[in-house]
Amino acid sequence: MPVTVADLVKYPFLPKARKYLARLDIDFKELAFFPKIREMAKGRVLSSISFGPRTAPQISKDFENEIVTYALALLYVSVIGEDKLTKLFTKSEGDKINYYLKSEKHEDVIFEIAKAFNWDTEKNDDGSISISFSKYLQNASRGRLIHNTKWKLVNRLLEKGMVRLPPYTVARLLQEEVHDRIEESIHHEVTNPPLELQEDISELKAEYQKRKSQFEEIRIEVKAKESEYPPCISFLIDRASNGQHLSHVERFTLVTYLLHQGVEIESIVNLFSKVSDFKEDLTRYQVQNLAGQRGGMIKPYITYNCSTLQTHNVCPLPNDPICNSIRNPLTYHLLKKNIKTKKQRRK
Ligand code: SF4
């Protein structure tokens, strides 16, 4: 089944989407005379710097405009040239694409995306897709998957340097690279926009400057390594792994923290498997719920603040200088990373 225009709306970074745009023969200068497209593109950028809950993306039937607005929004972000805005836009668009990739069943689309990411891939007669061993290792050992043993190479079929996988498994690996690829394309965008679009750019820039200071709080989305987890979380992981009972607040804290670090739902479910009252289906349901998957949202709940955790005796009140400077466990690793970087610079 060929890749359709609806697929290009979901995955607008595909080379086929660029070809589609080229066939429409639309020049960025001409977009100045399409207020609807400009509004849609501005809306795309503004939604990446909004603070409301993120709902599941809806595919608009306005296929042509959707593909054009993605390209225009990239141009806006590229020209504004603010690193933080680039990251937020990448996150917002990347999350949408990953939402689609999670349920992508169309193997030709998955294959096209892998090719667009320059992966060494082959389609097999049985419907599986083979990818190079090095690409597999690179993506299966990234933050989101490293906690789950099913991603270890020994559990995969390796033939002549290629790992044979079902398409949905390739789709999962691709999710690890989506954000990087969007960011790359922003850096490759035209940096000299036509004058007609300068007005939109100034408007977006002003809006971004207005909201800029509030983004310190949402930097919590940067992922932590396990060695950078705060004391309360390490303590809860130890207790859960040893089968000890965790209170509701403790479970909420541990699950939401790990979800924000990109740990897979199945790995979190496994973490509770030794707890005496463990019920796999119920635990999975609760974790999915906290991940926001059951409420039409695409973001997990935010972990409680340290002050709340202290009230509920979840905080071990460690003699830890980082703990004295933060308000929420989700920001612990950011300070830890900063301290580490400063120490390395001094060497
Ligand atoms: S101060 Fe906050 S981050 Fe540190 S251990 Fe307590 S709850 Fe966790």
- Tell me the domain boundaries of the chain: 5-213, 222-346
Closest approach atom of ligand 1 to CA 328: 2
- Would you state the pLDDT for residue 191? 59
Whether ligand 1 lies within 6 angstroms of the CB of 236 is answered as no
Q: Which of 220, 309, 336 to mutate to test the pocket of ligand 1 (most atoms within 8 A of CB)?
A: 309
Centroid of ligand 1 to alpha carbon of 246 (angstroms): 17
Structure tokens at 80: 């504004």
Q: Could you tell me where the DSSP H helices lie in the chain? A: 5-10, 15-24, 35-48, 63-80, 83-102, 107-116, 133-140, 167-188, 198-211, 215-218, 231-241, 248-260, 265-271, 280-290, 306-311, 332-346
Whether ligand 1 lies within 6 angstroms of the CB of 250 is answered as no
Whether ligand 1 lies within 6 angstroms of the CB of 224 is answered as no
The whole-angstrom separation of Cα 85 and Cα 300 is 21
Nearest CA to ligand 1 atom 6: 315
Centroid of ligand 1 to alpha carbon of 148 (angstroms): 26
The whole-angstrom separation of Cα 234 and Cα 220 is 17
Whether ligand 1 lies within 6 angstroms of the CB of 323 is answered as yes
- Would you state the pLDDT for residue 54? 58
Nearest CA to ligand 1 atom 3: 329
Closest approach atom of ligand 1 to CA 322: 4
- Would you state the pLDDT for residue 2? 79
Whether ligand 1 lies within 6 angstroms of the CB of 145 is answered as no
Whether ligand 1 lies within 6 angstroms of the CB of 232 is answered as yes
The whole-angstrom separation of Cα 19 and Cα 21 is 5
Whether ligand 1 lies within 6 angstroms of the CB of 332 is answered as yes
Nearest CA to ligand 1 atom 1: 323
Nearest CA to ligand 1 atom 2: 306
Centroid of ligand 1 to alpha carbon of 305 (angstroms): 8
Q: What is the DSSP letter of 221?
A: G
The whole-angstrom separation of Cα 237 and Cα 187 is 39
Centroid of ligand 1 to alpha carbon of 329 (angstroms): 6
Residues 6+ apart with CB under 8 A from 82: 205, 208
Neighbours of 168 (CB within 10 A): 15
Centroid of ligand 1 to alpha carbon of 128 (angstroms): 45
The answer regarding whether domain 5-213 maps to CATH 1.20.930 reads: yes
pTM: 0.62
Q: pLDDT 10s per residue in the chain (347 long)?
A: 678 888 999 999 898 988 888 888 777 777 878 889 999 999 999 988 876 555 667 777 788 888 999 989 999 999 998 888 998 899 889 888 988 998 898 999 999 999 999 999 999 999 999 999 999 988 887 655 665 678 888 889 899 999 999 999 999 899 888 888 888 888 775 657 777 788 999 999 999 988 877 665 444 445 677 888 999 999 999 999 999 999 999 999 999 999 988 888 888 998 999 888 899 989 998 898 888 765 555 678 889 989 889 989 999 977 888 998 888 999 998 888 766 655 655 55
Whether ligand 1 lies within 6 angstroms of the CB of 68 is answered as no
Chain centroid to CA 228: 19
Whether ligand 1 lies within 6 angstroms of the CB of 57 is answered as no
